[in-house]
Structure 1
Amino acid sequence: MTFAPKHIWSDESKTERFYSEMWTGDWWWETQTRLPESSTIVPIIFATDKTNLSVFSGDKVAWPVYMTIGNISKATRRKVSQRAWRLVAYLPVTKLECFETQEVRRVKGWEVYHRCMRHICEPLYSLGPESDGVQLLCADNAVRRIYPFLAVFTVDHPERCLIACCKDNHCPECEVDPNKRGDPTPSRSRSRQCPFWRNLPVFHVFKSFPPDLLHQLHKGIFHCHLVDWCSNVLGKDEVDARFKCIPRHSSLRNFTKGISKVSQWTGRECKEMEKVFVSVVAG
């Protein structure tokens, strides 16, 4: 457990700074300057994701909300055996069939989500930098004045859009049109009247989304863009044939049936394809 921000440098001259854990980032340092002396920040990390409970048939879905804190090292948080994450709530999953149109259901679904998250975050609204914080006994048996601030949301892209109040396939930060993404022209930031994070102290919703390597890089850039583009140029049959011809090696996976028949693209499969994709395209 770490209770104060740190600067980590590569050498004594302090010319190169290392960023690794949450307490080495600028956000923690900047927030610390707004608090009384000897205060301790507890960055709250939420993770939510809809989970299918029915494997072969049915539509049973659970929507759990898990929580951890940034004072715990990321190596510990990643280990299931350490139990660093806690289940704090289940969000309701409903089709809202009482409403007639899909557009109304979408809006009402947004309202349900934000109302639930507002209820979950209720204790945090009054614990801003101007408050007295909370006296708490910490893991090292020391009593500290802590300030719990919501800092990070670990969610996939659809839930990012839900939290940021925008439609799927739209940028969650600005109002740029989907077919104009990549244009360097600045776009107006999104603004909503009553999202659950509106009055949360020191919380910036668009800075709370960490990079999602699985959905943004492996499944996003590689699967949805590079593979599709190259398959359109070379042809799916040709791409499959080249994958089948990859020589066997202990560190490589052999796709004996090609990749066009892969029904479930997981992060592991994407990584294995990425190892040989350049040679496949080059022929």
Structure 2
Amino acid sequence: MKIPILTSKKHKILTYNNIDYYLFYHPVLNCIKNILSISDISQNFTLKFENFKYKGEKAYSEQYTGNWWKNTEASLPHGSNLLSIILYSDATTTDTLDPLFAEKGIDLEVDNKTFWFFPHISTIICDWPEAATFSLVYKSTNSNFPCHFCLISKTLLADTDLSDVTFRNNENMQEYFYNNAGQDVSLENIPNYFWSLSSINVYSVTVPDRMHHLNLGLFHYQIEFTQALLQKQDSSLVNKIDNRLSKISRFQKFQMFTNGLQSISRMTAKEYRILMKVMVFVVDNLYKKNENNVENFVENKKLSEVYAKWNKMYMMSRSEIFTESDLENFRKDTFEWAKLFVEIFKPYSRSKLKFSKFHLWIYHIFELIRQFGIINGYTTKTYESLHKDFVKIPYRMSNKKNVEDQIMKTLKRQDIINVINKKQKKKKPTKLLNFSSKLFETKLTEANIYFCEKMNDPNINDNIIKGFNQFLECFNDFLDNILKVKNIKECDIIIYDTATLENESIIRAKNKFHDKPWFSNVAISMNSNESSDYQSDEGLCYGKILLMAKIEIEEKPSLNLALV
């Protein structure tokens, strides 16, 4: 990295109480040059549009496969290249962008070669309020035309049957503005900087971010309205949902909802994403009849269906490739969810579901994929993580004096530590390190009677009982077909509930862990000769550990086994 290029500039923005306040920033062009100096990036740098096809169809993946790149590249002078610039939220001010848009383009070095580029802003990734700031439309959801993409009336935001939409663009918005009619289309009374850039339509490049529009937006509303619906039909159902969530077994990297949905207002995007995985099962078979004669009663089947349709739409949105057929299926799945969402939850929304994010998602996302590629390419998750790791956390670690210097020193120290750890760290195999927490011990000759006695214990979990039922048969099969060992008359069988692997992972087959059962799910790499006998995921099968045992045979090495 050419670190000197990243020397920050200092600009005084105000003086207050005889104290000068400065903005420290890096010129955008210098940042671009620095990024291109990284060999891993420059060697894989895309210079030209790719007419991408998948399964014989026109398809969209990375941004350079989209129509925006194709059309913009065609408008450039012969021999020049397109430099796509993605802006994240309000991470830059527009007056620092001017050097990028020189009429003759700019020369940049890529992989030790000099290329002639014309920089163009392709997308602005942000949440809805920031999008309103960039496009200078009213931020209020109660404005007459709250969508920054089109001129849709606020009264039609929940309409799923629109056929004619007028899109905003630089020309029609300037016409309203300079005719003093900006307020008629919810425009702020400020000329937009982006109108001066003929290469960008600011109203169409402010793309929706899935994390804010879906995780923190529409799914949050769906959960909120589900609570309101259940509260009206039978208040005990809300507690029933909380109880179901709190009883979900522990699983590695799975957020536990011990308090149910009581903390919904404080949930993160990650927690909502985890909640999506379980809510379809949590609401299933929750109630049967309209016992309280509630108006606008919603059948349980429909409530489960709206979550199933949501999951189908959400998973489709994460696709790495969209063919035209995929886009049509995505549109179909999205509108199926949207229509059911409106049908079920409209009575429980004070605004009658007049959400800009709802309208924007179901009407504009499909064309945006055609223009700019897959949704994964314009999500704020990456940029917010960078901001958190490289600004927020180092700032909080400082003593708030000479903050910039402290942040840079902290980051340099972390970088040095990461480099050292990377050199020292070796890939650890997933071999057993040790067992702990012995549960049972018996002899092979006594195992059948011992297991039968234990199966009658009411405190034994069903998974362990299932393991007892299958253990001896599986063990004999393992000896005969895997180890090729015959005539073992006696051995010690020791059952454990916890095992630690050499990669520091902990697996459990435990009756109670913090008052809840925990039986670890594992991935099993199948023998190539057996893989065709099972439905596998590229050679991997998945299962739940029922029992873990150490088998001690006289004059032979111990066997460490897991029954899955």
TM-score by length of 2: 0.35
**Map of 1:96 onto structure 2:** none
Q: List 4+ stretches of structure 1 deviating above 6 A.
A: none
Structure 1 vs Structure 2 CA RMSD: 2.3
Correspondence for 1:211: 208
Number of the residue aligned with 1:94: none
Aligned length: 209
Distance of 2:51 and 2:128 partners within structure 1: 31
Change (3 A) 1:48 1:211: closer
**1:25 matches 2:66:** yes
Distance 2:83 2:217 in 1: 32
Higher RCO structure (Cα 8 Å, ≥6 apart)? 1
Q: What does residue 186 of structure 1 align with?
A: 164
Report what 1:41 is aligned to: 82
Partner of 2:495: none
What's the counterpart of residue 85 of structure 1?
none
Greater C-alpha radius of gyration: 2
Find the aligned partners of 1:262 and 1:229 in 2 and give their Cα distance.
12
1:201 matches 2:198: yes
Aligned amino acid, residue 131 of structure 2 = R
> Which residue does the alignment assign to 2:263?
261
- 1:150 is aligned to 2:121: yes
In 1, Cα distance between the equivalents of 2:283 and 2:155?
27
Match of 1:281 in 2: 283
> Would you say the 8 A contact 2:48–2:81 is kept in 1?
yes
CA contact (8 A) 1:40 1:145 kept: yes
Q: 1:8 aligns with which of 36, 39, 52?
A: 52
Distance 1:178 1:30, change over 3 A: same
Q: CA deviation at 1:174?
A: 2.3
Q: Structure 1 residues 251, 17: closer, same or farther in 2, change over 3 A?
A: farther
- Cα distance change, pair 247–137 in 1 and its aligned pair in 2 (3 A): closer
SS in 2 for 1:198: helix
Q: Secondary structure at the match of 1:138?
A: strand
CA distance in 1 between partners of 2:167 and 2:52 (Å)? 33
The aligned runs of 1:101-112 (5 Å cut-off) are none
**Higher fraction of helix:** 2
Instruction: Confirm or deny: 8 A CA contact 1:160 1:172 kept in the other structure.
Output: yes
C-alpha deviation, 1:251, in angstroms: 6.4
Partner of 1:73: none
Write out per-residue CA displacement over residues 48-76 of structure 1, whole angstroms, 9 at most, x where no aligned residue. 35xxxxxxxxxxxxxx42xxxxxxxxxxx
Q: Which residue of 1 aligns with 2:407?
A: none
Gap runs ≥5 in structure 2: 1-44, 178-190, 232-237, 287-564
In the alignment, the residues of structure 2 paired with residue 133 and residue 248 of structure 1 have an alpha-carbon distance, to the nearest angstrom, of: 56
Partner Cα distance (1:161, 1:245) in 2: 42
Give, in whole Å, the separation in 1 of the partners of 2:66 and 2:283. 39
Render the CA deviation track for 1:106-159: whole Å, top value 9, x for unaligned: xxxxxxxxxx52x223234553xxxx323x142222222210111111111110
The Cα shift of 1:257 comes to 0.8
- Which residue matches 1:172? 148
1:172 aligned partner, one-letter code = H
Looking at structure 2, the residues matched to 42 and 176 of structure 1 have their Cα atoms a distance apart, in angstroms, of: 33
Q: Does residue 239 of structure 1 match 2:280?
A: no
- How many Å separate the matches in 2 of 1:42 and 1:19? 19
Unaligned ranges ≥5, structure 1: 50-63, 66-115
Counterpart-to-counterpart distance in 2, 1:247 and 1:257: 14
Residue 223 of structure 2 corresponds to residue 227 of structure 1: yes
- What TM-score, normalized to structure 1? 0.66
State percent identity of aligned pairs.
26
Within-5 A mapping of 1:3-152: 3-10=47-54, 15-49=56-90, 64-65=91-92, 116-117=93-94, 119-127=95-103, 132-134=104-106, 136-152=107-123
- Taking a change above 3 Å as real, the CA distance of residues 16 and 275 of structure 1, as seen in their structure-2 partners, is same
Farther-moved stretch of structure 1 (236-245 vs 197-206):
236-245
Of 24-33 and 258-267, the range deviating more from structure 2: 258-267
Contact 1:231 1:239 in 2 (8 A): no
Other-structure match for 1:92: none
